[in-house]
Structure 1
């Protein structure tokens, strides 16, 4: 099967599974890549925590922020606590900036992220991202806004109603009645933009020849720390089953909001091959729990990676 036939087959599988989205897999040594609509702009949900972490780490490197500084985090910042992290705490906690970075990135703790956004506001994070050359990543708001969607207005038994609104209330220009899903108001990105970011993060550790490849330059210390945080990601239900093995390591970050399911990461194979993977999807199925969609995302991404490994 040639690549065009593979892409048609994968598009058909996504359509049958009720998914649309933006996929891109890139060989970080050769630059060869294969994707499905990799330049489609989507709200990024928790993927915004990657530029937030990078900006915070750079400010620590520059001496503008003290990683050991203790930040007091009060309980009750959001009305709908997440499954883990500081939003579950019942009492005030003092947490070092370095540890907030771990909670925000590796545990995807939105309360920790908002504590970091208070130190480096969204506009400053976006300015730093632009200075590094990542033009297709936007940072407009904190994580608190993501806990103020229609999903928080329904009981859990009626969560499908929020998903139905998310599916039906968009426009052809990717506007949306739900602000967090409107690309003109939300934090946004594309699969290509995230693969570019991943390539820049991993470039310092690519030891083999990279003929003709140049990556955006990131400060090595922040890049190294962010790679560590992504390797420690606790949320491994989405792409990890198809990419992590005894012969491959998977470092990643997930993002989830209403009908959005995303994951971006890097798979490093024991034979030396390294691939950046970005998957940003929208479900057309009005349901909160969709393990089949999670599995389909991973299968499509893996088959794109498998084809590149054959080249």
Structure 2
């Protein structure tokens, strides 16, 4: 099947499943790639923790930050389903900067990430991305904003109403009544931008090798594996990734390394038009689409 026909079929499959998606798969050795609307800008939710982690690791490498320095981190005290780690703590904790990196990436701890943003603000993350000649990802706000949406203000049994608002309140220019879903106000990026970042972390680039190694290590510790991981994990592969979730948005960006030496960067950014809090079928569908694209590139 030719590439255009395959992409069209996958778009139809996504639509039937209630999803709109932006996907890109790139062979990290040859540069060949295949995608579906890879340049569409999305609010990226917790995917912003990848450039934040890279910026933090770079500042540690330069001696601007001490990875062993302990910070007193205030508890998140979030009780709604979803957030993890310090975000659910009820009391302050003292944690080293390098351990905050681990919590931010491995369990997507928003409070840990905001402690890191306190050291390296969004503007500095953006500056380092541009210094690395990476474009298309913009950090604007802290992660605490992701726990301040209509979903947190409604009773759990009415969570679907928050999703209905997320689905219905966007504009044709991708503005939104909910700030965290408005591409002019949210942390944003595209599938292409995240694949570019992954390529810069996995191959020779302006990012120092020490930083590359640390971020690859952290992405290998990701414990949230319900999305793309089932389709890219086997005895002959290793999957490194970071997820991002907010209301009707489900994202994941990662690299699959094959035992034969091949490696592919994959970014899948999706939004659902189904007003349900739990959508395991959406997770399965976006993983299938990403896998079909990878298989086409690997064997085509």
Q: Report the CA distance between 1:74 and its aligned residue.
A: 1.9
Residue equivalent to 2:124: 124
Q: Report the CA distance between 1:83 and its aligned residue.
A: 4.2
CA distance in 1, matches of 2:161, 2:67: 42
2:77–2:88: 8 Å Cα contact kept in structure 1?
no
61-70 or 125-134: which moved more? 125-134
CA distance in 2, matches of 1:77, 1:180: 20
Q: Report the CA distance between 1:307 and its aligned residue.
A: 0.3
Does residue 35 in structure 1 map to residue 35 in structure 2?
A: yes
2:23–2:191: 8 Å Cα contact kept in structure 1?
yes
Distance 1:9 1:82, change over 3 A: closer
CA distance in 2, matches of 1:24, 1:166: 24
Q: Which runs of 4+ in 1 moved over 6 A?
A: none
Q: Report the CA distance between 1:2 and its aligned residue.
A: 1.8
Residue equivalent to 2:265: 276
Number of equivalent positions: 300
> Scaled by the length of structure 2, what TM-score is found?
0.98
| Residue pairs, 1:224-263, within 5 angstroms | 224-263=213-252
Q: Report the CA distance between 1:271 and its aligned residue.
A: 1.0
2:75–2:111: 8 Å Cα contact kept in structure 1?
no
Q: Report the CA distance between 1:239 and its aligned residue.
A: 0.1
Residue equivalent to 1:99: 99
Q: Secondary structure at the match of 2:203?
A: helix
CA distance in 2, matches of 1:162, 1:83: 17
2:76–2:111: 8 Å Cα contact kept in structure 1?
no
2:76–2:86: 8 Å Cα contact kept in structure 1?
no
Q: Report the CA distance between 1:84 and its aligned residue.
A: 2.3
CA distance in 1, matches of 2:81, 2:278: 17
1:240–1:250: 8 Å Cα contact kept in structure 2?
yes
CA distance in 1, matches of 2:133, 2:106: 25
Q: CA RMSD in A?
A: 1.2
1:23–1:35: 8 Å Cα contact kept in structure 2?
yes
CA distance in 1, matches of 2:228, 2:4: 23
| Residue pairs, 1:136-147, within 5 angstroms | 136-147=136-147
Q: In the TM superposition, what whole-angstrom CA distance separates every residue of 1:52-111 from its partner, at most 9, and x where no partner exists?
A: 000000000010000000011122465647442012222221000000000001110001
CA distance in 2, matches of 1:233, 1:48: 15
Residue equivalent to 1:188: 188
> Scaled by the length of structure 1, what TM-score is found?
0.94
Gaps of 5+ in 1: 205-215
Q: Secondary structure at the match of 1:282?
A: strand
Q: Report the CA distance between 1:283 and its aligned residue.
A: 0.4
Q: Report the CA distance between 1:6 and its aligned residue.
A: 1.1
Residue equivalent to 1:287: 276
Q: Secondary structure at the match of 1:250?
A: strand
2:77–2:90: 8 Å Cα contact kept in structure 1?
no
CA distance in 1, matches of 2:177, 2:91: 36
Q: Secondary structure at the match of 1:63?
A: coil
130-139 or 260-269: which moved more? 130-139
